[in-house]
Amino acid sequence: MSKVTQVAHPLILHKLAFIRNKNTGSKDFRELVEEVSMLMAYEVTRDLQMEEVEIETPICKTKCKMLAGKKMAIVPILRAGLGMVDGMLKLIPAAKVGHIGLYRDEETLQPVEYFCKLPQDIAERDVIVVDPMLATGGSAADAITLLKKKGAKNIRLMCLISSPEGVKAVMNAHPDVDIYLASIDEKLNEHGYIVPGLGDAGDRLFGTK
Ligand code: PRP
Ligand code: URA
Return d(Cα 77, Cα 99) in angstroms, integer. 6
Which ligand lies nearest to the CA atom of residue 139 in the structure? 1
Q: Is 104 exposed, middle or buried (0-12, 13-18, 19+ CB in 10 A)?
A: middle
Residues 137-163 have pLDDT tens digits of 999 999 999 999 999 999 999 999 999
pLDDT of residue 140: 98
Write down the pLDDT at residue 209. 83
Report whether residue 133 contacts ligand 1, using a CB cutoff of 6 Å.
yes
Report the distance separating Cα 121 and Cα 71, nearest Å: 9
120 alpha carbon – ligand 2 mean position (Å): 30
At 57-113, the pLDDT tens digits run 999 999 999 998 779 999 999 999 999 999 999 999 999 999 999 998 989 999 999
Residue from 46, 176, 203, 208 carrying the catalytic annotation: 203
Contact 131, 101 (CB under 8 A): no
**Which residue among 30, 100, 102, 104 is best mutated to probe the pocket of ligand 1, counting the most ligand atoms within 8 A of its Cβ?**
104
- The number of the ligand nearest the C-alpha atom of 198 reads 2
What is the number of the ligand 1 atom nearest to the C-alpha of 142?
A: 14
